[in-house]
Amino acid sequence: MRLAPSPSGPLHVGHSRMAILNDEYVKRYGGKLFLRIEDTNPSNIDLDSYHLIPEDLEWLDVKVHEIVIQSKRMDLYYKEARRLIEMGKMYICECSQADFKNYKLNSMACPHRERAPETNMEAFEKMISGAFRKGDVSAVVKTDLNHPNPSIRDWIAFRVKEETHPLTGRTYFAYPMMNFSVAVDDHYLELTHVIRGKDHLNNTEKQSYIFTYMKWIKPHYYHYGLVHIPGALLKTSLIKKGIRDGTYSGWSDIRLQTLLAMKKRGYRPDTFRKYWVNSGMREIDSEFSWEIFNSINKEFVDQHAKRLWFVPDPVRLRIVGGWDMNSKAPFHPGNPDEGERVYHLGAEPEIYIPGKDWLTIADKEKFRLKDLCNVIRKDNGIIYADNSHEDLKKIRILQWSPADSQDFSVERPDGTVDNGKIEPLFSKVKGVSQFERYGYVNLDLERKKGYFLHK
RNA sequence: GCUCCGAUGGUGUAGCACGGCCAAGCAUACCGGCCUUUCAAGCCGGCGACUCGGGUCCAAAUCCCGGUCGGAGCACCA
């Protein structure tokens, strides 16, 4: 089995599917998983991704047995190309791009198609030694000019690139197209099974010509349906543009759906695995469900998410008439091992409550400060009422935070920020916590802020 | 336009290769109740689907034909 990403950036949610599906197959049935970095197009390579991709995979707990880098195997591709030329199955076309396209669309042979193998070989050697300019020539695999799908008729296997390759520099001038290098590598890596998206259906057919000409055994192919991930920006080129022009702070900007960003928000690798295994390998296109994805993540995260009181948009109030006020509450109601938090507030303390709630509390309305006491609103202040637990079901219960609370802000994936106060003991909490009546947040203690995960 | 693929509740799926055990299972969401000093978690109950039309058959979500709808690919990206 293999994972074959192009090194144009780190992995995102979409990639996690193919990684996990392949990995899961290998883990269940045995075998070997290659990570094959497909860097045969020097124009869209991001040097960092050579290490970011393996790191992402490691985070996902995908076990890669061996890493193969295509740009280091160019001689192999050239060697196999020569064999095809000798067999008369590949030729060097010197038509313009437009002419070549025209011939194909009309099922016609281009003038170079029937040249002798020796002539082609000569042209090929010139091509790889850099004697041609970009766009002048290409190496073409003969298929069937009458194939109903024009893209499958005589497809291009090598083209000239003049850019400097980030890894190999200016060593090579002719680079294989994905369909050629993939066929050669799938054979030499002795792959038995290939799992990939059904956007590759045509490629599978193109590649099969190589297997047939070379008399190689084809792997078994499985094509899963495409998933549309709502609200996600996954096009690496667009993300890169956004990073360059300052729209995004980097690959881990939490508005993005790169694995880096999702990790920062507190998503767990197990969530990815469970979600993708659960959605299976059907050929149906489907809609990615954040609803289900988040609920799986909540399952993993909730058990150790300490509860905290965060007060967005805080209003500062004095509890008039409250003497010797104390509060004690567990960090996790269902998990006593997580400990508890205790506050001694003293007499007539000041506290913060959420501005949004304060706005909707009527004059003379009674409400509860959670784990503290009941109060009644009077004009623009509150007075102590009692500490009975009797009407808990009837009145609303608000989270609050003491006067010595810290400033804290939560960044949300939609780009907005909630500013507020957080209870002092938050500094004892690490990782993902649940802000009561607010949602799950991954804490960044050093910077006194958090990243919103989900409700 | 051409080629290929697909169609189960709001969403994600199981079942379809070998028709009957499917008056369609699970999850999530939603609604109601219990519990609870969070609008979290947990427990109980409820809601809700086989794209349409034909055909084969004792019997069709499952097989065949047609329509409709959706998706992907269509040349020097991977």
pLDDT at A239 over 80: yes
The alpha carbons of chain A give a radius of gyration, in whole angstroms, of 31
Q: Is the dihedral of CA A193, A199, A205, A209 positive or negative?
A: negative
Which nucleotide is closest to A148, CA to C1'?
A: B3
User: What's residue A211's pLDDT?
Assistant: 92
Q: Does the interface ipTM go beyond 0.85?
A: yes
Distance, Å, A443 CA → B21 C1': 52
The Cα-based distances of A233 to A66, A229, A239, A250, A377 in angstroms read 30, 9, 7, 13, 46
Higher-pLDDT residue of A120 and A150 is: A120
What is the spatial distance between Cα A353 and Cα A311, in angstroms, rounded to a whole number?
Answer: 6
Distance, Å, A284 CA → B7 C1': 8
Token readout for A238 is 């667009």
CB-based contacts of A111, cutoff 8 Å, min separation 6: A95
Tell me which residues from 110 to 129 on chain A have a beta carbon below 7 angstroms from nucleic acid strand B.
none
pLDDT tens, position by position, A173-224 = 999 999 999 999 999 999 998 888 888 888 888 999 999 999 999 898 888 8
User: What's residue A225's pLDDT?
Assistant: 84
pLDDT tens, position by position, A312-369 = 999 999 999 988 999 999 999 988 889 999 999 999 999 999 999 999 999 999 999 9
Split at pLDDT 50, 70, 90, the class of A307 is very high
Tell me which residues from 255 to 274 on chain A have a beta carbon below 7 angstroms from nucleic acid strand B.
none
Host H or E run for residue A236: helix A236-244
Host H or E run for residue A100: helix A97-105
Tell me which residues from 5 to 24 on chain A have a beta carbon below 7 angstroms from nucleic acid strand B.
5-6
- Tell if A237 CB is < 7 Å from nucleic strand B: no
What is the spatial distance between Cα A377 and Cα A128, in angstroms, rounded to a whole number?
Answer: 82
CA A48 to chain centre: 16
User: What's residue A286's pLDDT?
Assistant: 84
- Tell if A198 CB is < 7 Å from nucleic strand B: yes
Helix, strand and coil percent figures for chain A, each rounded to 5: 35, 25, 40
Q: Is A64 left (phi over 0), alpha (psi -120 to 50) or beta?
A: beta
What is the spatial distance between Cα A276 and Cα A14, in angstroms, rounded to a whole number?
Answer: 10
Token readout for A19 is 């990684």
| C-alpha torsion A74→A78→A81→A82, nearest 10 | -170
Chain B footprint positions (protein CB, under 7 Å): 1-8, 10-14, 16, 27-29, 36-42, 70-78
Which of A87, A79, A94, A144 shows the shortest CA–CA distance to A116?
A87
Query: What residue spans of A30-177 are helical by DSSP H?
Result: 49-59, 74-87, 97-105, 117-128
Write down the pTM of the prediction.
0.92
Tell me which residues from 122 to 161 on chain A have a beta carbon below 7 angstroms from nucleic acid strand B.
135, 138, 148-151, 153-156, 159-160
Residue A276 phi/psi, 5° resolution?
-75, -35
